[in-house]
Amino acid sequence: MGLLVEQVVNGLQFGVLLFLLSAGLTLVFGIMGLVNLAHGSLYMLGAYFAVWFAGMTNSFVLGLLLALAATAAVGVVTELVALRTLYRRNSLEQVLGTFGLVLLFDEAAKVVWGPAGLSLAPPEWLSGQVSVLGVPYPAYRLAVLAAGMLVAAGLYWLVSRTRAGMLLRAAASNRSMAEALGVNTRVLFSLVFALGAGLSALAGILAAPLLTVHVGMGEEVLLLAFVVVVIGGVGSIRGALFGAVGIGLLDTLGRAYLPGLLRGVFSTPVADAVGPALSSMLIYVTMAAVLLVRPEGLFPIQRRAEAGRVVSAP
């Protein structure tokens, strides 16, 4: 029982990290219609900046805050300089353009910080373990879980209860109409992008003490983030939350229990061969199943038809 609880907490914690990463991605993807492969680079930059600033200030929390600000700033500059020109392009050009940015950021990180990985120690007061139903659990992982849930609640409030959130939803469901009603979508998009960059950086910073900070760490998680976005429904924060937690639980529980279950059915060598392969496919099989039943994802955004499409329809 204790083991099951621990695995569920592990899954939730992984899911929350995935949520932070995919929330920004789904906003940018859904609202601005931009397929941003460089989203993972901001995750990486957040982690590198955190190592940098935490080293300078000797404080994890200060490092985290400074790194968030720095990454959001990089995000805004990137949006102004490079991404703004991509909004009206088709997705292939967006993919190519943002992939170029991935290479640029990776190479830049390699030049500045070197190819070897860096470490970020969790704050002293979170480096121990706390007891969860009698099982010692890393305090830092619990803190990540708490921070993620807090941010999720904050985002929910922002999107559904504030004026900025209302404008955001309006622009997401019908951009031309929002523009016609006087919403400055340029400024709105820059803000959304900065928010997305900040969330992605937060995911990177929180993950840094668990992992190593290295070039290419963004690409390792980007695919999963896209899976979450697609399962949850493009543009939907709620979808990202449920998708991320679902994937986190599925992946962790699959890894924990699938090989054992298979051993009950097949002989040990067969189970040992099939188990890891199957558990790594689990996520993608689930995605395919979800898309089969709900092609728009679990929580699709209500889109009002854009004027041009209505006219050109037969």
Partner 1 sequence: MECIVAPRGRGPDLKGLTMNLRVLAGLGVLVVLLGALAYTTFSGRNEGIRIGFVTTLSGGSAAIGADMRDAFELALDHMDRKMAGHPVTVLYEDDAQNPDVGLQKTERLVQRDGVQFVTGYIWSNVLLASYRAATDRGVFVVSANAGPSELAGKQCTPDFFSTSWQNDQTPMAMGEVLSRRGVKSLYVLAPNYAAGRNMVAGLKRTFRGQIVAEEYTQWPDQIDFAAELAKIRAAQPEAVWFFFPGNYGTQFFKQYAQAGLMGQIPLFSSFSIDHLNLPQIGELVAGSLLTQHWGPDLAYPVNRKFVDDFKQRFGRTPSFYAAQAYDSALLIRTALETTRGDVENHDALRNALARATFESVRGPFKLGGNHFPVQSFYLYDVVKSGNAYDMRQLEKVYTDHTDPYAVDCAMAR
Chain centre distance of CA 59: 25
Q: Which stretch binds partner 1 (CB under 8 A): 64-72, 122-130, 232-240, 287-295?
A: 122-130
Residue closer to partner 1, measured from CB, 122 or 297 = 122
Residue 135, phi then psi, degrees to nearest 5:
-100, 130
Q: Which of 55, 100, 117, 154 binds partner 1 (CB under 8 A)?
A: 117
Q: Is 98 in the site for partner 1 (CB under 8 A)?
A: no
Q: Is 112 in the site for partner 1 (CB under 8 A)?
A: no
Q: Which of 212, 270, 289, 303 binds partner 1 (CB under 8 A)?
A: 212
Residue 203, phi then psi, degrees to nearest 5:
-60, -45
Q: Is 306 in the site for partner 1 (CB under 8 A)?
A: yes
Residues in the chain: 314
Question: Which single residue is written with the structure tokens 């009206």?
Answer: 88
Q: Is 215 in the site for partner 1 (CB under 8 A)?
A: yes
Taking CA atoms, 42 is separated from 39, 95, 201, 276, in Å, by: 5, 16, 6, 30
Q: Which of 55, 96, 99, 136 binds partner 1 (CB under 8 A)?
A: 136
Q: Contact at 8 Å (CB) between 300 and 173?
A: no
Residue closer to partner 1, measured from CB, 216 or 300 = 216
DSSP codes of every residue in 249-302: HHHHHHHHHHHHHHHHHS-HHHHHHHHHHHHHHHHHHHHHHHHHH-TT-SS---
Q: Which stretch binds partner 1 (CB under 8 A): 55-63, 77-85, 134-142, 191-199?
A: 134-142
Binding mask 52-81 for partner 1 (x = CB under 8 A): ------------------------------
Chain centre distance of CA 211: 16
Q: Is 219 in the site for partner 1 (CB under 8 A)?
A: yes
Q: Rg of the chain over CA atoms, in angstroms?
A: 20
Q: Which residues bind partner 1 (CB under 8 A)?
A: 2-3, 6-7, 10-11, 13-14, 88-90, 106, 110, 114-119, 122, 127-129, 135-138, 140-141, 176, 209-212, 214-217, 219-220, 252-253, 255-256, 259, 272, 275-277, 279-280, 306-312
